[in-house]
A and B are shown apart, each in its own frame.
Chain A
Amino acid sequence: MKGKCYIQGLAAITPQHTFEGNLFSQPLVSTGANVFAVTEPDYKTFIPANSLRRISRLLKMGLTTALKCMQDSGLSVPDAIVTGTGKGSLQDTERFLKDIRQYEERALNPTPFIQSTYNAVNGMIAVQQQVTTYNNTFVHRGFSFESALLDSMLLLEEGASHTLTGAFDEISAEHFYIKSRIGHWKKEMVNSAALYDHLTPGTISGEGAVFFTLTAAPTTQSYARVAGLKMLYKPSLTALTTGLATFLSQHGLSAKDIDLVITGRNGDNNFEHYYRQLDLGLPQVSQLPFKHLCGEYETAGAFALWLGAHMLKAQQVPQQWFPMVSQFPATLNRILIYNHFFGDQHTFILLERTAAPAV
């Protein structure tokens, strides 16, 4: 997918201090617990107290990030609200399931059920902002956010002026345990800042909420242009290499035109071969891994897009977040994001500086 899609505003609640302040001066936050929880802001300034008492953690994260994103872009009524989530509100889902068991399917509280539905965040944004336009939530595991992004790009192509596009996922102790049984997480405790030094089975778990205001036309405020998106499902290594080459050539680019690659490397030796294959296709191109900043989860790709957009606009890298990287590119015109979710859903996103010189 190629498109006229510009990032006009963004916001993120993540394990790093990303919600407020200048990200280029925020210290690196790390964890040694293999579970990377978000740094939560004070929600009271965004959500009325009477609503706040009822809504669960992920809904607070999602709604607050969406509102902050709209503030950042100066937009209050988007033409569409499009989101992706891998799991929705786990806290509500677990509470509802436990209640079914405890109360033998009787006397069930409606609130956890309502909020456990995947589109609950979108509904709350629409109600709070009085938006009655297109509203859609994609739940496609590692393609959840990317499907929302693709849908948004198509809407912009079809004439929408702007979309509010985002992703949100949380981790719970119960879910962490379940996924540990199928080998998602490392057995040994690892400090997140040294994640890539531990190339062993599994990775560290994460969570976050990230929103973007996307527009069909750029402004002087735009962060970056989402120039292209490609999704590959369970590709072979050959298909991955071909997919990358095709993706770049569709945009009239070759490896030398990419200034930086943001990769989803996560220290999991079960899937490291995909990243090594990428290295072969992009020799000499600087790379930044990002999973030591947010952990692994279905919609972590949204974090990479948020990071890339900030770097393109500011023309700098938050170097304090990357102690494992020794050299950074001097200028940033094009960033390629490559991420995959446990080897199944693979994504390429091409990000360009709004005023990038033609190739």
Chain B
Amino acid sequence: MEDLKQKLKVQIIEALNLQDTKPEDIDDNAPLFGEGLGLDSIDSLELMVLLERHYQIKVEDPREGRKILQSVQSMAEFIQSKQPA
């Protein structure tokens, strides 16, 4: 799980071109939108694309997406839940 969260942080920084942000600056449980990283709705679309490209997970329900993209922790838990045991 820790490795997955670290990898996710690197992928988020790259996908959203978060200049001047390092993986260690992102708290696992900090909200990605509004406060925290201050992302917006276009970023949420880019994070959906990230999940599809890197983890082959397609999020169909926008309400589900809102919960998944709350934080790095929630994203990692979702990815792990979709991976075969």
Contact = CB atoms under 8 A, between A and B. Distances in A.
A53 B46 CA distance: 13
B53 A107 contact: yes
Contacts of B83: none
Contacts of B40: 50
B49 A107 contact: yes
Interface of A: 49-50, 52-54, 103, 106-111, 114
B52 A106 contact: yes
Contacts of B49: 107-110
Contact of B45 (A49, A103, A110): A110
Interface string B29-40: 000000000101
Contacts of A53: 16-19
A54 B46 CA distance: 11
B42 interface: yes
A50 B21 CA distance: 12
Contacts of B15: 109
- Interface size class for chain B? 10 to 19
B52 A54 contact: no
Nearest to A108: B49
Q: Which 4 A-B pairs have the closest CB atoms?
A: A107-B52, A53-B17, A107-B53, A109-B49
Contacts of B53: 103, 107
Interface of B: 15-19, 38, 40, 42, 45-46, 49, 52-53
A91 to B, nearest CB: 13
B18 to A, nearest CB: 6
Contacts of B16: 53-54
Given A53-B17, A54-B17, A109 B52 contact: no
A248 B71 CA distance: 67
A24 to B, nearest CB: 36
B42 A110 contact: yes
A31 B17 CA distance: 30
Contacts of B18: 53
Q: Determine which residue in A49, A54, A108 has the highest number of CB atoms from chain B within 10 A of its CB, and name it.
A: A54
A110 B45 CA distance: 7
Contacts of B42: 54, 110-111, 114
A111 B46 contact: yes
Contacts of B46: 109-111
Contacts of B38: 50
A50 B40 CA distance: 10
Nearest to A53: B17
A114 B49 CA distance: 15
A127 to B, nearest CB: 12
A141 B50 CA distance: 36
B69 to A, nearest CB: 15
Given A107-B49, A111-B46, 14 more contacts: A49-B19, A54-B16, A54-B17, A103-B53, A106-B52, A107-B52, A107-B53, A109-B15, A109-B45, A109-B49, A110-B42, A110-B45, A110-B46, A110-B49
A233 to B, nearest CB: 40
A50 B46 CA distance: 15
A89 to B, nearest CB: 15
B57 to A, nearest CB: 10
B24 to A, nearest CB: 19
Nearest to B21: A53
Contacts of B45: 109-110
B12 to A, nearest CB: 12
A54 B40 CA distance: 11
Nearest to B16: A53
A264 B56 CA distance: 52
B50 to A, nearest CB: 9
A116 to B, nearest CB: 14
A103 B53 CA distance: 8
